[in-house]
Every structure is written in structure tokens, then in C-alpha cells.
Chain A
Amino acid sequence: MHTYIIRRILISIPLLFGLLTINFFLIHAAPGDPTDIFYNPDMDPEARENIRRIYGLDQPLGVQYLKYIQGVVLKFEFGYSIAKKRPVKDEILEALPNTIQLSALALLLELSLGIGIGILAAVKQQSTFDNAIRVTSLTFYSMPSFYLGLVLLFLFAGGVSATHWFPASGMVDIVRHESMSTLGRLGDRAIHIFLPSLTLGIGAAAGISRYMRGELLEVIRQDYMRTARAKGLTERVVVFKHGLRNALMPIITIMGLSLPFLFSGAVIVEQVFGWPGMGRVAVDAAFQRDYSMFLAVNLIFGAMVVVGNLVADILYAMVDPRVRLS
């Protein structure tokens, strides 16, 4: 078991390295230049060359690549964001915790809602409740995340004046946050994070509940469930202790594989709610052609995905004793 984990971690390192390399050459293969934002038709071509030399862009590609790798591995430096005039590392260190907060809360919501509703729907199969749940969860599953966000914004954050309960954007109340008590600050953060994490969570929860319902239905038909009931155990024990354990296993894999979607979804939700996280950084980098930012963002997202898959595999191996890890 431990060898498996160590082996997977060792494999992840060249994977991340490969990610970095591919991203680097992809970005430099694109037309244009990071210095394009300084471009001005009246500019002296020498001035442009000077700018490129300042940022080290006139050196051969291999040299740039090696310097970049050196920076990342040895000093944990990701370069300099030309559009935002700050080191990329600072920008990311500010944005990353915000996204992690949002994604973590959304994950919690999605798991509890999704699994809970899936179980309910499976247990009450073929009833009107089940059908209602199926249609509702299908509708939420088919919504683009921005649409759900916009609807929630409209209903609860300002469109209808009677229900102006939540703020429309941002992480904290810029004006009053510093002057609040600790409890007040907590409450402020809570109402700011509620709608975005709800948006992120509900869509994913709908997907999980569909899958959960299917899995649990399959498990309930198995013979060992019938044996458990014949032994005289209560229905609750039968479902939760015996059925759920087996149905939960594919959910773990799904969860691990859906981590990239959680982060991609965060991009959209962060745009809708003005959440200062990695998604917004990524979109800004896209529109401002900020190449060093791009590299770092892609790397971070790629790394999160690799880590997510690793965690999912490890959890799966821990939960299912039938999995033989050679």
C-alpha cells in the first residue's frame, strides 16, 4: 500500500514536469509576444527590442526554458506578470487560497446534497418523489453554471428588492470588513461565500445524485442485501451499513475525476460573482495576453488535477479491499 502511494507520487513528478514543458512551448509557439501590450505604432523598434531584452525574451528559446525551469524548481519563482506588474508568485498566492475556499465548500455541499438526495431517490424508487427529484436534478445538471449563478444573483442579491439578502460580488465587504468584530467578520465572509459555493455545488450535486441513485439501485438488487434483510436487520441498517458502503466506491472515483471540473467550473462562477480567485486570474491573463501568468495558471490547475486523481485513487484503494495493488 505504501509502495503504491510512493510510486504514484514519483510518477506524478515527471507528469508535472511534462505539463510544464508542454505549456511552455505551447505558449511560446503562439503568435505575438508578451510585450505586445506595450506596442504603439509610433514606437521606435529599438525601444521594443529593449523591452524584450529587459524581460529576457530575446534569448534563444532553450535558454529561456532552462532559466524558467531553474526558477521554478530551485527558487519557486514563476516569473513576472507584465500586465499586472507584480511577480506571478504574489498574484497566485493571493488568489489560490480564495479558490480553494470556494471549491472546498462547494465540494462539501455537493457531496452532502448529492449523496443524500441520491439515497433518498433510490430508496423511494418509482414514487412521485423519485420522479420529481430526477427531473429537478436533471434540470440542475443541464444548467450552465453561469446561468444558475445569474438566477441566484437575481433572486437573492438585488434583482428583486424584497429579497436583497446576499451581496452580489466580492469576498468581503471592502468598506466595513476591517471594522467588524470577529464574529461579524465570520458572518461577512459567510454571506459572501454562500451564493457562489451554492452555484458551484448544486450542479455537481445533481450529477452525483444521478449516479448515486443508479449505483444504490444496482446494489439494492444484490443477493447480500436480501440476506441482510432476511437476518432481520432494520431497513436503515441494511441500506446504510451494507448498501451504502458498496455504492459509495464508484462515487469516490467520480469525485476524484470530477476535481478538474470543479476547478474549471470555478472559473465561470468566479466571473459571475466577482470572486477574486484563480479563475479570474486565468481569464484576466487570457485577455491581457499575460504569458507568464498563463504558464503558472496552467501549471497550478494541472497540478491540482494530478493531485486530485492521486487522492481519488488512494482513497479508492483504501476503501475497497478487493483492489490489489501490486
Chain B
Amino acid sequence: MILGLFGLLVGLAGWHAGTLWDTLAHTLEKLFGANVPYTLRDLDFLVSTLFLLGMLAALVLYSGLSCQRIRQADRTAQGPERQWSIVKRQFLKNRLAVAGALIILALYLVAFLCPFLAPYDPVEQGDRVQERLLSPSAEHLLGTDRFARDVFSRIIYGSRISLLVGFLAMGLAVTLGTAVGAVAGYYGGWVDSVIMRFVDMMLSFPTLILIITVIALWRNQSIWIIITLIGLMSWMGVARLVRGQFMALKEREFFQAARALGAGTGRLIFQHLLPNSLTPIIVSATLRVGNTILLEASLSYLGLGVQPPTPSWGNIVYDTKGNLFTEWWMPLAAGMAIVITVVGYNLLGDGLRDALDPRLRE
């Protein structure tokens, strides 16, 4: 099951990275040399259409499988209720949690189906004299910015950057944090002390200041640097969490039995300790995505994030904050997108935590 989850995460990460326009451009260049027969928008449409078809196929498959399962259930007796269905039921009872999940689902759909939803190209500049800073209208739902780009399309495409940064930075932070926490928790003793001192030291670094320093010093604002930096500053909480979990689980009988039977370190960690620590990690990971999105937005607001013309929500606020009093809908709408996304992730995380907590069950 861990392998399946891992595969899913890698797949999502791969998709995220692949749909970045520079990656697409790069791939195209490698495949076709100098004379590329397609534009980036064509490729974008291709990927989104593939996704749509894939989703439809998955829906059909799933309904088919469900029918099969219902037919089988009629024949065999009902076994004891499985753990995940208990959790699922508890989760669905919580309306706020479901709302959070729906928000995130909608966000991912928007990100996947960008080319279908955005009426204009987000980086294409219109007539800079006649079409700049237009008010919202039927043609431009949120008006145009000072380079005559359609703000609504930019916000829709901005979701990709936020999702990418949020997801990959969280992935890095959780992987790193789990590894460090696992080592500290499993070995204990002086290894644990040293590692925890290091974690405490890292926690006492002011995150934003450090990231600003590094980005400004190395003058590199590529999205991968930003993801790495944010991930490197966010793993400490997960490490503490995992360490605590491992230390508690080490006292349990099933672990001591496994160890007494001669299980090796790897088997003990991956087969016994890690699967049982998964639930707080998942909750922490979900809540962490919200924080990384906020951090990325703050960096972009200072001008140190992803560079224009690539649209990112923080980017849009940075470009348009000068016009706050006159064309207020632009920064406020982009910021609202951030708020809705982070609220969704927080609701989801809270809901997961409540659903997975056995003490809150009826």
C-alpha cells in the first residue's frame, strides 16, 4: 500500500512538473529540434484532453467495478467493517471536511483543465495602449492588467504554480522529515539527542528571512530553487511528529514481538513502524501544503518568487498592488484564490484528523 501511495505521489509530481510550460518547451525542443510544429497551447490542450478522457475512462471502470462488487456482496456474507471504510464514513459525516475536499478537487480540476477554462492566453499581451487596465466586463471577466493581459486567465493558470509548489515542497518536506524522524525515533539514544538538537536549531531560523537571503544572494529565482528552499525549511515539524510516533510504537507488543522474531531494521521500520505512523503524517502533510502555498505567495509578493510572465497568484498581487485603490479587483481576486485554496487544504486536513482520531468516534 505504501508503494501504491508513493507511486501516486510520484505520478502527481511528474504531472505537475510536466505541465510547466518551460518543461514542455524543453521537451519539444529535444524531440523536434529547432522546428517545432506545435505551439505550447496545442500541447497544453493535448494534455488536458488526455486527462479528461482518462477521467471518463476511470469513472466508467469504477462504476463497472462497483456493480461487480455489489453483485458479489449479495452472494457472500458481510465481513467485519474495514478500517478505511470507518474512516471514510466518519469523514463524510463532517460537512466542513467534505467541503474542503470538494474545494481541493475543484482546484485540481481547474488546474488540469486550464486550457478549456481560460478564455485567453495568460501571457499574451493585448494592445498596450487601448486595452490596459480595463474594468471587468463580459469579454474580460476580471479586466486586464497593465500589460493588457487577461487577469482571469492568469489567475486560472496561476493555480498550476501554486499547486506545483505546494505539492512538491510538501513532498520534499514530508520525505525529509519522515526520514530524519524515523532515524531519530528508531535508534534513540545519542543519535536521537543529536538529531533533535539539530531540529531545534533549524526551527529557530526565521524562515522567510533565510529564504529571502538565499534567493537574493544566489540571484536564482527558478521555481525549483523556490520549491527546494521551502521544502528545506518545512520538514522539522514532520520529523518531530514521526520521532514521537516511532518512540511510542516501539513500546508496543507487536513491535517487540517482531523484533524478538528476528526481523531486521528495514523490515521493522517499513513493515511495522511506518504504516502505523502514517495517519498523523498524512494529516500533517495536508496542513503543510497550505503553509507552503502561503509561503510561496509571500515570496512572490516581495518580488522574489516565480518571475513574470509566468502567472502565479502571489505574482499577480505583486504586479497589481500598485493599483490597489483604483483597480482593486485584481489583487483582491488573486488573493482570494489563495485564501480559498488554503482554506480548502486546512478544512481537509482538519477533517482527516478528526476522522482518523479514534477517540472522537461514536
Contacts and interface: CB of A to CB of B under 8 A. Distances in A.
B338 A147 contact: yes
Contact of B204 (A30, A265, A271, A305): A305
A181 to B, nearest CB: 31
A68 interface: no
B198 to A, nearest CB: 12
Nearest to B100: A138
A254 to B, nearest CB: 13
B294 A144 contact: yes
A264 B339 contact: no
A251 interface: no
A154 B324 contact: yes
Max count, chain B CB within 10 A of own CB: residue among A144, A265, A282, A294: A144
Interface stretch (B109-117, B184-192, B212-220): B212-220
A135 B103 CA distance: 15
Interface string B308-339: 00000010010001001100100110011011
Interface in B111-129: none
B40 interface: no
B316 to A, nearest CB: 12
A27 B217 CA distance: 7
Nearest to A157: B325
A31 interface: yes
Contact of B206 (A150, A257, A260): A260
Contacts of A301: 206, 209
Interface in B251-303: 290, 294, 297-298, 301-303
Given A142-B343, A146-B298, A268-B302, A31 B219 contact: yes
A141 interface: yes
A265 B214 CA distance: 18
A189 interface: no
Contacts of B346: 138, 141-142
B151 interface: no
Max count, chain A CB within 10 A of own CB: residue among B206, B297, B304, B342: B206
Contacts of B208: 264-265, 267-268
A257 B236 CA distance: 13
A30 B217 contact: yes
Given A138-B346, A142-B346, A286-B216, A147 B205 contact: no
A85 to B, nearest CB: 19
A309 interface: yes
A128 to B, nearest CB: 13
A263 B212 CA distance: 14
B54 to A, nearest CB: 31
Contacts of B331: 150
Nearest to A23: B213
Contacts, number: 126
A158 B325 contact: yes
B332 A264 contact: no
Nearest to A141: B346
Contacts of B336: 147
A269 B287 CA distance: 23
Given A138-B346, A144-B335, A283 B328 contact: no
A153 interface: yes
Interface in A230-255: none
Interface string A267-284: 110010000000000110
B300 to A, nearest CB: 10
Contact of A305 (B205, B297, B317): B205
Contact of B335 (A27, A147, A268): A147
A100 interface: no
Given A268-B298, A271-B302, A286 B213 contact: yes
B228 interface: no
26 contacts: A15-B201, A26-B214, A32-B217, A138-B346, A143-B339, A143-B342, A144-B298, A146-B335, A147-B336, A147-B339, A153-B324, A154-B324, A154-B325, A154-B332, A159-B324, A260-B204, A260-B205, A260-B207, A263-B209, A264-B206, A267-B208, A267-B212, A289-B216, A294-B216, A302-B206, A309-B204
Interface of B: 96, 201, 203-210, 212-219, 290, 294, 297-298, 301-304, 314, 317, 321, 324-325, 328, 331-332, 335-336, 338-339, 342-343, 345-347, 350
Interface of A: 15, 26-27, 30-32, 134-135, 138-139, 141-147, 150-151, 153-154, 158-159, 257, 260-261, 263-265, 267-268, 271, 282-283, 285-287, 289, 294, 297-298, 301-302, 305-306, 309
